[in-house]
Structure 1
Amino acid sequence: MAWVAWVHGYGKLLTPVPVDRTDTGDTGLTMNQRNQRDQGTRRRPVRFATFNVLHGRPLPDGGPPLSLAANPAEGPLARAVLSLDADVLALQELDRLQERSGGVDQAAVAADAAGLKHWRYASACHARSTAERGWILDPAEPGLRVYGPQDADSATDVPSHGIALLSRFPVRDWRARRLAPAPLGMPLRMAGRPGLTLVRDQPRAALAAVLEAPGGPFTAVAVHLSFVPGWNVAQLLAVRDWIADLPSPHVLLGDFNLIGALPRVVLNAPGKTRTPPSPRGWFDLARTPTYPAHRPVVQFDHVLANGVGVAAASGARTPATGISDHRPLVLELSL
């Protein structure tokens, strides 16, 4: 569910995860042959996608819930992410071990379906979702935790809700950051309820990865920002400063809960630190509505980049998937 919002982030830097170094296949190639091979590879654009999946819930109501799927690998979420054919995929509103979504690790389901073996999931909150009381937080697990492929078969952890970043390329470093909730809620329209309902904000998360692509390293950052106006702007500025020391280009993608050109304006505002100096600043790589899914009229979901020109992006689309109240945003970027 989305509406306009903003947030100030707090969190900690995780220990970088090293990438296994493997044979590059250069044996026997001359320098010219290597350069020709690399230049040919670099011409292939990287396909990015961001999607707030609403825990894989089919919409409109009445579709078969994911929890009843006999095989989650063939369920609505798996089919949706497979259809995007992304090289780098940011997902928001994922469940991990929630009863409503079949008790599965949805990040692992998505990674398997999309064939993206390098991934992490960051919990925004450890809590159980209930129809009567909403989120019931687990006091024993108040903070951010990060899970990966090695945790996919674990059923001993407490249920959680969060975001994921999935990649076809090896990852040199991972970072994760908790974004604290706004102290005040927002009156929002809720499906099935008359008038406005006061909704409390929840913790959010950001995930950053330094990817080893054929054209060289770059940084991808997945975010899901608050729906509280002003608070999400502070969150976005905190994320911008947090990734300032990571390799450029930077590609920032997710559900910002900010409409139109606001994310670009915020990212290009003066601050204590700037993601590494670029005369061109941050660019919107696509301007197209993504919400609501049945008839998009506003753009909450964005892909922005620093260190590349806007002309490097192409093929933006927002395909219907049959799940969520958001459309995914998919585009290609030459890096």
Structure 2
Amino acid sequence: MKLKTALLPLALIFSATAMAGGHREPYQAQSNLLNKTYSQEQAPSLRVATFNMAAARVGSMEEIAKAIKAIDADVIAIQEVDVLTGRSGKVDQAKQLEKLTGMHVAFGRAIDFDGGQYGLAIASKYPILKTEVNLLPSGTREQRIGFEAHIKVPGFEAPITVFNAHLDTKEDPAMRIDQVRALNDAAIDTRGIKILMGDMNDVPNSATVQELGRYWNNIVDSEVDFRSWPAGNPEIQVDYIMTGKAQRWQVESITVPQVNAPYSDVNWPAVTDHLPIIVDMKMLEQ
């Protein structure tokens, strides 16, 4: 009898924990952004891009800034950014990009490296309201992050949350899948307009991209050559732009500037080892 009395409160505790914990609780579903559709004429438009700048190990900061200005996106997710590292001459590349492009640039630290820091950046034509670094499972390998920025873009009823990611490079996708699940775990609790961009280090139809497809719509077009690496003679697509499933976007154009079709006279292989992916789109449903 005493044993039953002692076990009953524990059972109640476990039951209460199971009912109250985890994701998808009612309070997590609350949002000031209600579902709304737009006509073609009224739909707000956005140009986004993802761009791995290789920490200026291929081209100079001036050449990278020229490339970013040529892309002319409202928001750009940038991978491989050095801040005050020895290899980049103690330059704060995020601040340097801000100075050279005139854009707002926020930096997210992934690791301490070579006397400075290394990570991701998000550049925006419009003020960046807040940022957050989401650590992704990385084991004993290089620490990876999902860098999150909230940006108020004119024409949109709520800030756009942009996630930038640069996933693990190992051929075995197990680590990347864990990283995607952690990224999804963070993103699913964010209400509103969401966009994911970055270097996912895996190819279309891979387990990594399929896992991303649970919570994101990958922007695809059978008429577009999405091969983005290496820039001089692209072999595979590893860079992606995806949208949250709460929204419906109409893609107006997709540009992956190839070597034989330079974009605004930028010699991409002389700038970095990845081609950018640039997307113009209109939001038909928020």
TM-score, structure 2 normalization: 0.71
Q: Distance in 1 between matches of 2:42 and 2:86?
A: 43
Residue 159 (structure 1) aligned to one of 116, 121, 124: 116
Please name the residue that 1:334 is paired with. Answer: 282
Q: Distance in 1 between matches of 2:99 and 2:220?
A: 27
Residue 305 (structure 1) aligned to one of 228, 233, 243: 243
Please name the residue that 1:111 is paired with. Answer: 98
Residue 162 (structure 2) aligned to one of 174, 199, 220: 220
Equivalences for 1:200-279 in 2 at 5 Å?
201-213=141-153, 214-217=155-158, 218-228=160-170, 229-262=173-206, 263-269=208-214
Please name the residue that 1:323 is paired with. Answer: 271
Deviation for aligned residue 1:326: 0.9
Deviation for aligned residue 1:41: 9.5
Please name the residue that 1:3 is paired with. Answer: none
**Contact conserved, 2:137 with 2:175, CA < 8 A, in 1?**
no
**Contact conserved, 1:258 with 1:299, CA < 8 A, in 2?**
yes
* Paired letter, 1:179: L
1:216 is paired with a residue whose SS is coil
Equivalences for 1:41-120 in 2 at 5 Å?
43-58=43-58, 66=60, 72=61, 75-117=62-104, 119-120=105-106
1:334 is paired with a residue whose SS is strand
Residue 177 (structure 1) aligned to one of 127, 131, 134: 134
Deviation for aligned residue 1:172: 3.5
Deviation for aligned residue 1:286: 3.5
Please name the residue that 2:33 is paired with. Answer: none
Deviation for aligned residue 1:114: 2.9
C-alpha deviations, 1:67-92, integer Å up to 9, x for none?
A: xxxxx5xx222222122111111111
Equivalences for 1:116-127 in 2 at 5 Å?
116-117=103-104, 119-127=105-113
**Contact conserved, 1:210 with 1:247, CA < 8 A, in 2?**
no
Could you say if the C-alpha distance between residues 246 and 173 of structure 1 is closer, same or farther in structure 2, counting changes exceeding 3 Å?
Answer: farther
Deviation for aligned residue 1:245: 2.1
* Paired letter, 1:216: E
Unmatched segments (≥5 aa) in structure 1: 1-37, 59-64, 67-71, 129-157, 184-200, 270-280
* Paired letter, 1:47: R
Query: Which has the higher Rg, Structure 1 or Structure 2?
Result: 2
* Paired letter, 2:197: L
Please name the residue that 2:252 is paired with. Answer: 314
* Paired letter, 1:324: T
Q: Distance in 2 between matches of 1:40 and 1:314?
A: 11
Deviation for aligned residue 1:40: 10
Q: Distance in 1 between matches of 2:39 and 2:127?
A: 19
Unmatched segments (≥5 aa) in structure 2: 1-37, 258-266
Q: Distance in 1 between matches of 2:253 and 2:237?
A: 17
**Contact conserved, 1:292 with 1:327, CA < 8 A, in 2?**
yes
Q: Distance in 2 between matches of 1:215 and 1:232?
A: 32
Q: Distance in 1 between matches of 2:167 and 2:42?
A: 32
Deviation for aligned residue 1:47: 0.9
* Paired letter, 2:202: L
1:94 is paired with a residue whose SS is strand
Deviation for aligned residue 1:298: 1.0
Q: Distance in 1 between matches of 2:131 and 2:108?
A: 11
Please name the residue that 1:284 is paired with. Answer: 218
1:102 is paired with a residue whose SS is coil
User: With CA pairs under 8 Å and 6+ residues apart, which has the higher RCO, 1 or 2?
Assistant: 1
Q: Distance in 2 between matches of 1:182 and 1:243?
A: 21
Bigger fraction of residues in helix: 2
- Between the aligned residues of both structures, percent identity stands at 25
* Paired letter, 2:248: G
C-alpha deviations, 1:191-215, integer Å up to 9, x for none?
A: xxxxxxxxxx311121112222222
C-alpha deviations, 1:144-174, integer Å up to 9, x for none?
A: xxxxxxxxxxxxxx41111111222333432
Could you say if the C-alpha distance between residues 99 and 77 of structure 1 is closer, same or farther in structure 2, counting changes exceeding 3 Å?
Answer: farther
2:68 is paired with a residue whose SS is helix
